[in-house]
Amino acid sequence: MKSDSKPLLTAQAEKANHYTYLKEFRVEQCPLFIQRKCTQHRPFTCFNWHFMNQRRRRPVRKRDRTFNYSADNYCTKYDETTGICPDGDECPFLHRTAGDTERRYHLRYYKTCMCVHDTDTRGFCVKNGPHCAFAHGNHDLRPPVYDIKEIQALENPDSDPNSSSNGPNILDKERNLMNEDPKWQDTNYVLSNYKTEPCKRPPRLCRQGYACPQYHNSKDKRRSPRKYKYRSTPCPNVKHGEEWGEPGNCEQGDACTYCHTRTEQQFHPEIYKSTKCNDVQQAGYCPRGVFCAFAHVDRSALDELHLDDPLNLVESIHRDTNSPISNSISAGLASSGLLGSSAPVNIPGMNERSVLTNFSPSTSSPLQHLHSTGFLTGSRFSHQDSMESVQRLREELTSSRAQLATWDERINQARAACAAWQLESEEAKRKASIAEQQRDEALLQVKALRVENEASSGGPYLHTLRRTSELRSLSIAALKSIQSQLRSDLEEVEKVLYRETATKCMVCEEQNRTVTLSPCNHYVVCSTCAPNQRECPYCQTPVVSTS
């Protein structure tokens, strides 16, 4: 009966790399870090943990099909700074470790959703690195392992939702409640209010994550485009390369006309829902639900352009009469009959209300006239080809506007860079001129000092002995003077010799030292003599390699 209580990592077959992460990632302490030899500490990318608050417990599903700790409910006793829980590893709740690894690498969630970031040339996630807990492609997806309570809830959908034994977890309840709120189903409401107010819950106690419509930090915050006017291009003071910095780096603050966060850019009216969701395309499911900034279905052109009232379309086209794409849109509508078969194509030259000039005075309203001329008929929904054409043209318009904004931003950045380079060039020239003048003055001063020194020391030449046979005839005072001069000259020779030998090769004594010998690491030979050396000329250690 002992085997019945033995815990199982998972009952389903796992891929080798998935099994390794589920079982071992951040479970053991790094032995190299203890020896202060781990090279993956800064930035912290080590497979093992270095500090206790990075330590993760191995998730297992026991024989009774319950987890050894919850996948969603966090422990209120766990100290996130020290990594200590009074209940230890037996705690049945989730520990909020650094990087939230206990939840991300839990059997319930690890690799069950697609990552929103791309991979680099090595196949690593550009955002989360080599240890990304999200799937990159269908081959990397794995099915979630459910707790017995979740299985019972799936098998008995009509059971009491408030029951702790059968009901879905708290996180799913909160997300479902948010997804079912009708106001968040309205695109205009989402664009106006999503992430524009701070979350009212205490820090780190909000379990909704991306499903929370309020922001939790400055990088999650978003300005409402109804209240603030800003473009869909990133602010150059905030985004550098692929990384978003702190919005506070921009001195203009909320008055800036560019995006300050990834959320502001993705939920900008010019970009929102303009690209298809990768999760839906690859896995047929998106975990972000109504709060996904990408398109899940091909929305009809009528819905996108609000063709329930075609006057909105006509006026929107007239507002962009100088755009070449507006001509294409009007031509497509005219060819499909949505602007009437007699409607002119050249929008820039037509009167703003020329489309309504032919309606009868007896008609009670322009809208009724549009019905009578075929502008608004029930058959508009049967014009599938025309709708696809309108949708395509609208996407081209959005893409062109975004591209123009990008070009405008790049031109401004190039102008600013050119101005900065010009100032730097002028400053460099000024400094170079000053440095050249100082160099000339220094050379003159050195020359003057050299002349003065030579005059005081008796000339630039070393003193030489007379004939040795004459030494006996000299007085003791003369001999002492010669001795002092020779000692001084010898010191000068030794100084020059030391400087020369310190930089010259110890073998040929001609070329400068350029090669380091290993393993002694003596920098003593030149590149010409190095290949012929079998041992170090300084310490006689056998040479293994050179650099």
> Number of structural domains, the chain?
3
- Nearest Cα neighbor of 81 from 57, 51, 45, 103 is 51
Higher pLDDT, 240 or 9: 240
Q: How confident is the model at residue 157 (pLDDT cuts 50, 70, 90)?
A: low
Residue bearing tokens 């499903």: 211
Rg (CA), the chain: 39
User: Given a cut of 60, is residue 8 above it in pLDDT?
Assistant: no
Instruction: Give the pLDDT score at 364.
Output: 40
Instruction: Give the pLDDT score at 236.
Output: 92
pTM for this prediction: 0.38
Instruction: Give the pLDDT score at 184.
Output: 81
Residue bearing tokens 């109804």: 226
User: Given a cut of 80, is residue 108 above it in pLDDT?
Assistant: yes
Element (H, E) at 239: strand 239-240
Lowest mean pLDDT among 25-34, 55-64, 287-296: 287-296
Tokens of 7: 């815990």
**For residues 275 and 399, what is the distance between their CA atoms, to the nearest angstrom?**
10
Q: Do residues 35 and 141 share a domain?
A: yes
**For residues 503 and 524, what is the distance between their CA atoms, to the nearest angstrom?**
8
Given 104, 138, 155, the domain boundary residue is: 155
In the predicted model, what is the mean pLDDT of residues 335-364?
A: 38
**For residues 144 and 109, what is the distance between their CA atoms, to the nearest angstrom?**
6
User: Given a cut of 90, is residue 75 above it in pLDDT?
Assistant: yes
Q: How confident is the model at residue 69 (pLDDT cuts 50, 70, 90)?
A: very high
Instruction: Give the pLDDT score at 228.
Output: 92
User: Given a cut of 60, is residue 290 above it in pLDDT?
Assistant: yes
Higher pLDDT, 358 or 283: 283
Sign of dihedral through CA atoms 501, 507, 510, 511?
A: negative
In the predicted model, what is the mean pLDDT of residues 143-162?
A: 73
Given 270, 298, 326, the domain boundary residue is: 298
Q: For 363-402, what is each residue's pLDDT tens digit?
A: 344 444 444 444 444 343 344 556 666 777 888 888 888 8
Instruction: Give the pLDDT score at 13.
Output: 82
User: Given a cut of 50, is residue 456 above it in pLDDT?
Assistant: yes
Sort 245 into a burial class: Cβ within 10 Å, 0-12 / 13-18 / 19+: middle
- Nearest Cα neighbor of 188 from 279, 304, 107, 86 is 304
Q: Do residues 140 and 42 share a domain?
A: yes
Q: Do residues 117 and 205 share a domain?
A: no
**245 belongs to a structural domain:** yes
Strand partners, 244: 239
Residue 246 Cα distances to 125, 193, 491, angstroms: 22, 21, 63
In the chain, the percentage of residues whose pLDDT exceeds 90 is 23
Q: Which residues of 53-90 are buried (b: 16+ CB within 10 A; e: fewer)?
A: bbbbbbbbbeeebebbbbbbebbeebeeeebebeeeee
Residue 321 Cα distances to 311, 324, 335, 337, 340, angstroms: 15, 8, 19, 20, 19
Higher pLDDT, 435 or 176: 435
Q: How confident is the model at residue 323 (pLDDT cuts 50, 70, 90)?
A: very low
Lowest mean pLDDT among 241-255, 266-280, 466-480: 466-480
In the predicted model, what is the mean pLDDT of residues 425-444?
A: 90
Q: Which residues of 300-326 are buried (b: 16+ CB within 10 A; e: fewer)?
A: ebbebbebeebbebbeebbebeebebb
**239 belongs to a structural domain:** yes
Higher pLDDT, 198 or 331: 198
User: Given a cut of 80, is residue 45 above it in pLDDT?
Assistant: yes
**417 belongs to a structural domain:** no
Q: For 109-133, what is each residue's pLDDT tens digit?
A: 999 888 877 788 888 988 889 999 9
Q: Do residues 232 and 116 share a domain?
A: no
Q: Do residues 151 and 195 share a domain?
A: no
Q: Do residues 31 and 146 share a domain?
A: yes
**211 belongs to a structural domain:** yes
Instruction: Give the pLDDT score at 244.
Output: 86
Side-chain-side CA neighbours of 126 within 13 Å: the count stands at 9
Instruction: Give the pLDDT score at 419.
Output: 87
Sign of dihedral through CA atoms 109, 113, 118, 123?
A: positive
Q: How confident is the model at residue 254 (pLDDT cuts 50, 70, 90)?
A: very high
Q: Do residues 198 and 257 share a domain?
A: yes
User: Given a cut of 80, is residue 95 above it in pLDDT?
Assistant: yes
Instruction: Give the pLDDT score at 322.
Output: 43
Instruction: Give the pLDDT score at 465.
Output: 63
**For residues 496 and 490, what is the distance between their CA atoms, to the nearest angstrom?**
10
**120 belongs to a structural domain:** yes
Phi, psi of 456 (to 5 degrees): -75, -25
Sort 431 into a burial class: Cβ within 10 Å, 0-12 / 13-18 / 19+: exposed
**275 belongs to a structural domain:** yes
Range of the domain at 509: 501-546
**For residues 332 and 324, what is the distance between their CA atoms, to the nearest angstrom?**
13
Higher pLDDT, 21 or 348: 21
Largest CA distance in the chain: 145
Helix count and strand count (H, E) for the chain:
14, 5
**For residues 167 and 157, what is the distance between their CA atoms, to the nearest angstrom?**
9
**372 belongs to a structural domain:** no
Q: Do residues 43 and 147 share a domain?
A: yes
* Cα 249 to the center of its chain, rounded Å: 16
Q: Do residues 49 and 145 share a domain?
A: yes
For residue 520, the domain's CATH number is: 3.30.40.10
Q: Do residues 112 and 201 share a domain?
A: no
312 within 8 A of 306, measured Cβ to Cβ: yes
**For residues 346 and 395, what is the distance between their CA atoms, to the nearest angstrom?**
21
**398 belongs to a structural domain:** no
Q: Do residues 38 and 107 share a domain?
A: yes
For residues 35, 37, 42 and 47, what is the CA-based torsion angle, rounded to 10 degrees? -80
Q: Do residues 290 and 193 share a domain?
A: yes
- Nearest Cα neighbor of 21 from 132, 112, 125 is 132
DSSP summary character for residue 134: S
Q: How confident is the model at residue 103 (pLDDT cuts 50, 70, 90)?
A: very high
What is residue 287's three-state secondary structure?
A: coil
Given 275, 298, 321, the domain boundary residue is: 298
